[in-house]
Amino acid sequence: MKEETPKPKGIMSRRAFLRTGLAAGGAVAAGGANAMPPQGNPANQPPNVPDWTRSLGEGVVARPYGKPSSYESVVIRRDVEWLTASRESSVSFTPLHALDGMITPNGLCFERHHAGIAEVDPADYRLILHGLVDKPLIFTLDDIKRMPRVSRAYFCECAANSGMEWRGAQLNGCQYTHGMVHCVMYTGVPLKTLLDEAGVKPNAKWLLLEGGDSAAMTRSLPMQKALDDVLIAYRMNGEMLYPENGYPVRAVIPGWEANMWVKWLRRIELGDQPWHHREETSKYTDLLENGKARRFTYVMDAKSVITNPSPQAPINHKSGFTVLSGLAWSGRGKIARVDVSLDGGRNWQTAKLDGPIFDKALTRFYYEFDWDGRELLLQSRAMDETGYVQPSKSELRKVRGVNSIYHNNGIQTWQLHKNGEVENVEIS
């Protein structure tokens, strides 16, 4: 199966389903209403002995670093070629439709580079901490790894995630509309630990984080956030960071837009005011309908998306028991509830949240229903523990207009057709 880069657009009960499942081959052979069409090689299917049972397989260390089955080769990050002029300053998208649970595999975390991937030699790596401190410091990677550490699962979302949808439905696939988000168990040192080691002067109110890529990506960070929950991370899901995600060290700024999570972190300067650099003036600001721009809009508000069914994950059965699955997240804290609508927002049902539910992390939700084969308009709506409710797109546009790129957390609509195919549409 081959997926292509998208182009812009223009009842059976659960118990009955489970009984059918237990009957397995008998039901399929009988060609029941929900039977999948015949696929694969019949010689490998019951009652025959399949090829893989007839001979020994590869031994240990034949695959010294594991990778997914070749049958899952379509589950990869993808870019949209026409979206940017070059791949050195571009983005790839996480295949949300092909994943489950709340942790993103390291090899599938979306990428966003401003000047390509910096290949940093860990022996030469240094982190400089200076400015309004009592004692300027330079840390090696080993210095950082010897310090007290913590491991926390956090989502990381590009401010431009869903940015192409401000003016209406554009791309078919939640990989492209919502795939600039991932959730990883990061391991690192609290930034507060480094600041305590250096000694912060009383007039220090802001930090400048600078990356080691050729763009020297910089962002100003308020001191209050730096002392709260920011990590200087070197591991993701137990492994060292991947180069495309900032190896050997990156900043982790929980709940805030991903451009703040400076990769290949090489310098932290303390000052008494923000630096007003390019990425916080001409870029990463929210242009409003009246022509004014909002700055320093760090927090990623509550958001959700249905990942299955979705345009890249159609329904393959004709009707019957169906598990709808999706992801929700909020930069303000934990997800408290997710509602699901099958009729474009006229009626809502509460979805089941599947643990663990962490602060500022992706949360998986499920909603089980009997699909009768009709066309549906699928939506999800997230609520976080602060009471914030994910807005509809029309509600969002009343405040933000349509001229922005960033911070689009409006409710997404998928239209499920009778043949099981799914399309990105907009009804509000």
Give the type of residue at 327. L
pLDDT-derived band at 255 (thresholds 50, 70, 90) equals: very high
Residue 26 pLDDT > 50: no
The region of weakest confidence among 28-42, 105-119, 282-296, 406-420 is 28-42
* Res. 249: pLDDT tops 70: yes
CA–CA distance, 382 with 68 (Å, rounded to integer)? 32
| pLDDT for residue 308 | 98
Q: If we measure between CA atoms, which residue out of 208, 114, 167, 85 comes closest to residue 397?
A: 167
* Alpha carbon distance 61, 78 (integer Å): 29
Dist CA 400 CA 396 (whole Å): 6
Q: Is 50 exceeded by the pLDDT of residue 12?
A: no
Residue type, 268: I
Other CB atoms within a 10 A radius of the CB of residue 266 amount to 18
Whether the per-residue pLDDT at 2 is higher than 70: the answer is no
CATH class of 78-295: alpha beta
What is the separation of C-alpha 233 from the centre of its chain, rounded to a whole number of angstroms?
A: 18
CA–CA dist 171, 9 (Å, integer): 6
Quote the percentage of the chain above a pLDDT of 90.
81
371's CB contacts (< 8 A; 6+ apart) are: 11, 315, 319, 320, 321, 322, 416
User: Cα–Cα distance between 37 and 56 in angstroms, integer?
Assistant: 31
**CATH fold group of domain 303-425:** Immunoglobulin-like (2.60.40)
CATH fold match for the domains 78-295 and 303-425:
no
- Note the pTM of the prediction, 2 decimals: 0.91
Above 80 in pLDDT, residue 27? Answer: no
pLDDT, position 7: 62
371-402 pLDDT per residue, tens: 999 999 999 999 999 999 999 999 999 989 88
Query: Which pLDDT score, from 0 to 100, does residue 110 have?
Result: 98
CA 169 to mean position of chain CA atoms: 19
> DSSP 3-state assignment of 130?
strand
CB 321 within 8 A of CB 292: no
pLDDT, the chain, mean = 91
DSSP codes, 187-237:
EEEEHHHHHHHH-B-TT--EEEEEESSTT--EEEEEHHHHTTT-EEEEEET
Could you read off the pLDDT of 325-369 as tens digits, one per residue? 999 999 999 999 999 999 999 999 999 999 899 999 999 999 999
Q: What is the mean pLDDT of residues 275-283?
A: 88
CA distances from 152 to 76, 185, 255 (A): 25, 5, 12
Tokens of 190: 């609290």
Contact 220, 262 (CB under 8 A): no
Measure the CA–CA gap between 177 and 164, rounded to whole angstroms. 7
Phi–psi pair at 14, nearest 5 degrees: -60, -40
Domain boundaries, the chain: 78-295, 303-425
Q: Which two tokens stand for residue 314?
A: 């159609």
Check residue 177 and report its DSSP letter: H
Q: Which of 81, 83, 107, 82 shows the shortest CA–CA distance to 94?
A: 107
